[in-house]
Structures are given as structure tokens and as C-alpha cells.
Chain A
């Protein structure tokens, strides 16, 4: 399939939507809104997976879509909200890098992603190339979010976005084996991260595992 064909356009559209949402995630100033955006992104991801299932008539992709929807559009956002309420975390986004600058950085990353993907010759079909660019951008933006936001929740969200990008890439490639297994395995890790946030009651940052009495340790402070 090439440009101007429905399957490609839809897939492209969905990918673009995810990228857009990644930017929204970077843009939001309130944690609640961020979580909503994350849920939406999860939904779109599920849709993309399903669509690819239709296009490639690969039934296992529907399973992926289902899992993605259940986990990313519903469960995890709810969990995060609950966390937000229970540990009464800051409701406002604390940034290490301001919203404006991080947007600019995000644009730069997207540009980089396109630059990297550009030289890929037409030997690979265009769809893959485009999707790859999108997915790569989402991944990079997710990581950018992890390092420019201070709240633990937002860092978890960044990790989730990163993983969404992975799944997007995975489903985008026609005939990718073990998609379900891999996406599930990746998901398990995400769940464990969220679980870790619960268990260790990480209030503020990843790097202050806040079990009340924990001092900054890092080994050999004399």
C-alpha cells in the first residue's frame, strides 16, 4: 500500500494522533489533565493496533488492542488517579525543564527522528518508514518527559508513553512475530513500575524513595 490509500491514511492518522497527544502530555500543567491525555493516548494506541489487525488480517493484534485498551486506557489511569488522591500529591506539574523549552526540545527530537529515518531507502515500504518516524518520536518524547518532570506520577506517565511508542512501532510493522507476547511483557514491566510507586509510596520523585526515614544514601556518604 502507498500514499493515498485508506489503510495507510488511517494508520498514519492514528500515529499522528499519538504524537500529538505526546505533545499534549508535555504541554499540560495539571497532573489530572496529563492522566486524561495518557488515557486518550492508550485508547488511540488500542485503535491503531486494532486497525492494523484489520489491515494485516492478523487476529492476534486484536488481542493486543484489547489488552492495550484495558490496561492503558482504563486501568492504569484509574490507578494513577487513585494514587493521586490517596497520597495527595502535588496537583501541579513540577518541571525540571520549563514547559516552553520542553516543547521546543520535543520538536527538535521529532526532527531528529525524521532525520534518522529519512535515509532509509524505499526498499522498506513507505508506511513502515513513516510509522517508524512517528513511533520513534513518541518514544523520545516519552523519555524526554521522564527527565524533564519531577513528579513521580509524571515520570511514570513518561515511561508509559515510551512504551506506547514501542507498541505502536510493533503493531505498525506488518507480520511482526510475537507481538502479543512482547507487548504483554512490556506491559508487565509498566504495571510493576506503577506497583512500585504504590508499594514504596513514592510521593515526590523517583529518586527519593520516600519511606519516611530514607536519607540520601548512594553508598558511601561517610
Chain B
């Protein structure tokens, strides 16, 4: 790789070029395979980032914080592409929808990469907007009333949120304006981070509030979460994984960048407590809302809200330990949750319904899928040996060690949520199987489902229990960035 090679931009544009290519492909299977190929190329390219020197390069910036997130995004993108090879077989898209689906998917991947890699807050904002528009398109692709309502909700709520985020970005520049000359550097995160200590605290506070509310909406933090369950439950089967696994991470990452800037100023209002409050609200609401779910995919969408809340809470606690917990939680949640969405999606296609009542006894009727799904749900519920156990352990220990009064709400929330997930796991996997639907997907789709699931679970296990030293050092470095 030549020294000056703009690897980040390559990561952004590869999927977009791929999108153009996918427009041209009319037929289903070739398109799906091409989709896989593009995603695979993107993944390989993203692996090169591990050897990237890092640092700012034009509008982009690579550091320990966004690097694992980017690699994870492309990994999940690849597995999702593989899964959707089997999934779209049952979706029965017409040509137009098929193209829309693939194009939007790749556009989304590119925007996701840009949102994570952007150094310029303005560019990051544009990227997240593009990602939002793409996700709106994907969610709406079915064209059924529920899908359209979900997409519309996503569009309006996130649109307003993003507008607020833009205002925050502008105010952020306003804070830095006295110290930076004209030119793009005024919106560069690295520059702002460096300048923050000299900026005016009032402006920084204002900027943080708007960025928090704006990007927090995309991160699905209560009470800004309303769009999330419908969007993740009504979109195409394969997309839920991406929405909950990647989009949320990008948004939370943006919030973290903002927190890093504001936190760098001694006199500014401490950003931590805001995040803790949002995190507790998300955990509390989601933990109890989980008990009323009759729709499997909505259930896990709500659990995404809960996990985002936990991550936000961890980052709110601040300090390297808690940040590590938060980061670990983000990564582990992406892996485990997308694995579960693969499993649940496939089960929903097998049973022809995503109501919990219609899915049951998977362990008896489809042992492979059933036990894999059970394991995945256990991972999402924070049971060992997966990454979420490690992160929740670290979070709880840190909370008890530094802010003992958090133990009670945190413990109750975690316990309630975990109990709900255990209920769901047994409802879906154990007991007497429900009948499959007549137009169940062909048998080979089970392979395209189980492969990704096991891959994700294996990685989640490695992340939680056996992380190679260099990666651990990387996470360590990342944990020190948000402050």
C-alpha cells in the first residue's frame, strides 16, 4: 500500500461504486452474489486499516476508537450480505425493489464508513444523513403499510434529530472560530479536540446539548428512541442486523466524539451525567418494555435500545475502565445482536410470521438453528463466556466502585432485561415446535444463516474471553480517547 494512499476514502467509495454496479445487475442471484463480493472486498480493505499508520488525513481520521468500529462494520456488512443471499430468496422482491435494496445497502455501508472515519464534523454529519436516507429507503422497500409507516417515522424523527445535530455542529465551529483561521480545519475533530480547552465553555455546552439530542436520536436513546423498534422490525429481514449493529454504533460514536471535545474543557458542564441519565432512562424503559413484546424482531429491537443505553451509561461514567466497558459493549452488542437477528429472521421466514406465538420449539424442529439462537440470545442477555458478559461485569464493577448509588437501578434494570430475554429464549427455542409455513425458504438457506451466526458468536467469545494482546492494547488505547 503506497504511503499516501487514501485508504479511508477507498473504504467509503468502494461500496458506492459497488452500488452503481449493482444498479446494472437485474437478476436476483447474480446481484446477491455481487453484493457479497463487494462487501467481501470492503472487508478485506478494512482489514488493511489495522496496518494503517492512523492519524488525520484530509477530512478523514483513523484512531483506535473508530478503527475497530470500522472493521466490525465491514465484517457485519459481509455476514449480512451472505445472510441476505438466503434471505432475499424468501423476500420475493420485484426487480425495482431488488435493485433499491442492494443499492441502498451499499450506499449505507459507504456512508457508515465515512461517518466513522470522518475527521471533519461537517462531513460526519453529511455521512450520517446519507446513512439515514439510505436506511429509510431500505426500511420502506417492502412497500407494505407497516413498512412505510416505520420508514416515515424513521425519516421524520431522525430528520429532525439530524437537523439539531447540524445546529450543534455549527455552534461547535462557533466555539472554535476565534482560534482557527478560515478553511476546513475549523470543523476538524482533532483540531477542535486540541483547542477545546481554550474555547468558550458556554458555547461548548450548547453545542454538546444539540449534538447529544441530535445524534442521540439516531443512537436510539430514550426518550428519542421511538423510531427504532418499528424500523428494525419492519424492514427486510437482513437489514435489522445492520440497523441495530452498525447505525447505532455510528451515532453513538459521533456522540462520543462530541463528548471528548466538551469533556476536554475544565469549566464546561460535565457531559458524563447527561449520558448516564440517558443511559438509565433507556435501560429502565427497555427492560420493562421487553416484557410486553409479542413480536420477536421488535423484542430484540427493544433490547438494542437497552444495550445502547448501557453503552451510553458506561461512557457517561467516564474514565478508561468504564470507557473500555462501553466500547466492549458496543462491539459485543453488534456481534451478538446481529447474530440473533439472523437467527430470528430465518426463523420468521421458516414459520411465515415473526410473532413469538408462531415461532416455537426451534430446538426440536431445527436443532442447529434452535441451539445456535439460544446461545445467541444467552450472549445478548449478558451470559458468559461472550463479550457482553465481560463488558457488563466491568460496567457493574466500575459503577459499584465509583458511584455505588447506581447499583440498584442498574442491577434491577439488568436483571429485568435478562429475565425477559431468558423468557424469550425459552419461548422461541424450547417446547413443542410450531408448524413451518408452506413457502419456507429452501434448506440451503440454513447454511447461509448458521455460518454468520457461528462466526459472530465465535468472535464475541474471543472478544470476551481470549483477545489477542495487540487488539487488547488497541481497545485500551481506544478507551482513553473519549476521556
| A interface list, Cβ under 8 A from B | 116-117, 119-121, 123-125, 128, 132, 135-136, 139, 143, 146, 159, 162-163, 165-166, 169-170, 173-178, 181-182, 185-186, 189, 192-193, 196, 200, 206, 209, 211, 213-215, 217-220, 222
Q: Which chain B residues border A186 with CB–CB below 8 Å?
A: 163, 166
Does B474 have its Cβ within 8 Å of any Cβ on chain A? Answer: no
Whether A173 contacts B148 by the Cβ 8 Å rule is no
Whether A200 contacts B177 by the Cβ 8 Å rule is no
Known: A139-B167, A159-B159, A177-B182. A124 touches B126 (CB 8 A): no
Q: Which chain A residues border B178 with CB–CB below 8 Å?
A: 123-125
Whether B145 contacts A222 by the Cβ 8 Å rule is no
User: Which of A124, A146, A159, A209 is B152 in contact with, Cβ under 8 Å?
Assistant: A209
User: Which of B122, B163, B233 is A181 in contact with, Cβ under 8 Å?
Assistant: B122
Whether A162 contacts B160 by the Cβ 8 Å rule is yes
Q: Which chain A residues border B355 with CB–CB below 8 Å?
A: 220
Whether B177 contacts A182 by the Cβ 8 Å rule is no
Name, among A136, A193, A196, the residue most crowded by chain B CB atoms within 10 Å (CB to CB).
A196
Whether B182 contacts A175 by the Cβ 8 Å rule is yes
Q: Which chain B residues border A222 with CB–CB below 8 Å?
A: 294
| A146, B174: Cα distance in complex, Å | 27
| B interface list, Cβ under 8 A from A | 120, 122-123, 125-126, 129, 133, 145-146, 148-149, 152, 155-156, 159-160, 162-164, 166-167, 169-171, 173-175, 177-178, 181-187, 200, 202-203, 206, 229-230, 233-234, 293-295, 298, 355
Whether B152 contacts A176 by the Cβ 8 Å rule is no
Name, among B133, B149, B171, B229, the residue most crowded by chain A CB atoms within 10 Å (CB to CB).
B149
Q: What are 7 residue pairs bridging A and B, where the CB atoms are less than 8 Å apart in the complex?
A: A175-B177, A177-B186, A177-B187, A196-B155, A206-B156, A214-B148, A222-B294
Closest residue of B by beta carbon distance from A120: B202
| A23, B297: Cα distance in complex, Å | 43
User: Which of B162, B163, B206 is A116 in contact with, Cβ under 8 Å?
Assistant: B206
Known: A116-B206, A222-B294. A193 touches B170 (CB 8 A): no
Given contact pairs A132-B174, A174-B177, a sample of 8 additional A-B residue pairs in the complex whose CB atoms are under 8 Å apart: A143-B160, A162-B163, A169-B171, A175-B177, A177-B122, A182-B122, A206-B152, A217-B145
Whether B298 contacts A219 by the Cβ 8 Å rule is yes
Whether A119 contacts B202 by the Cβ 8 Å rule is yes
List 3 tightest A-B contacts by C-beta distance, closest first. A120-B202, A214-B145, A175-B182
Q: Which chain B residues border A123 with CB–CB below 8 Å?
A: 178, 200
Whether A182 contacts B156 by the Cβ 8 Å rule is no
Known: A185-B129, A193-B155. A220 touches B170 (CB 8 A): no
Whether B294 contacts A124 by the Cβ 8 Å rule is no
Name, among A162, A163, A182, A200, the residue most crowded by chain B CB atoms within 10 Å (CB to CB).
A182
Whether B122 contacts A220 by the Cβ 8 Å rule is no
Q: Which chain A residues border B163 with CB–CB below 8 Å?
A: 139, 159, 162-163, 166, 186, 189
Closest residue of B by beta carbon distance from A175: B182
Q: Which chain A residues border B145 with CB–CB below 8 Å?
A: 209, 211, 213-215, 217
Shortest distance from the beta carbon of B125 to any chain A beta carbon, whole Å: 7
Q: Which chain A residues border B298 with CB–CB below 8 Å?
A: 219-220
| A220, B178: Cα distance in complex, Å | 53
Shortest distance from the beta carbon of A110 to any chain B beta carbon, whole Å: 15
Known: A124-B174, A209-B152, A211-B145. A178 touches B122 (CB 8 A): yes
